[in-house]
Amino acid sequence: MALLLIAGLLLGGIVDALSSQTAITFFYIVNRSWREARIHVTADGQELFAQEIEAARESTSRIQEAPPSDRYPARELKVRLPLTARRLVVEELNSAGRATFDLPQGNRSDAGFRIVIDRDAICITHDYMPIRSQ
């Protein structure tokens, strides 16, 4: 019994230590490329996530929705980002597109990252604020 208690405390300490070295960060990914996009995102060479996002499709209906649905497919993710990370790299595997973003050191903003995949480029901004339910 004592052994289980000690193991539980050690595991809890490891989890707490890992949690204190990372921060939950939002990533909002928008695919405006008109093709299926497969992206791979790393921080300092360590994989954060990989995602597939479907291609945008033109509406075949002449009837418009109110409010109109989003034209471009998008996805919001919550990811643990190491506090010591210095550079994000986003690679679009279907087109060999690539973008980098140098992360500020020290106190970081609560803002997440917006990744927009266009036909010819990938844009990363640090301005995304998720809508939180009250």
Query: pLDDT tens, 14-64?
Result: 444 444 689 999 999 999 999 999 999 999 999 999 999 999 877 666 666
Token pair for 49: 């996530």
Task: Dump pLDDT digits (tens) for 107-126.
Answer: 778 899 999 999 999 999 99
Length of the chain, in residues: 134
- pTM value? 0.76
3-class DSSP state for residue 102? strand
Q: CB count, 10 Å around CB of 89?
A: 16
Provide the Cα torsion 39, 40, 41, 44; round to 10°. -150
Band of the pLDDT at 73, cuts 50, 70, 90? very high
Q: What contacts 93, CB < 8 A, 6 or more positions away?
A: 38, 39, 40
Please choose, from the candidates 54, 33, 28, 51, the residue with its C-alpha nearest in 3D space to the C-alpha of residue 41: 51
3-class DSSP state for residue 85? coil
Q: CB count, 10 Å around CB of 122?
A: 21
Question: Could you tell me the domains of the chain?
Answer: 23-128 (2.60.40.4150)
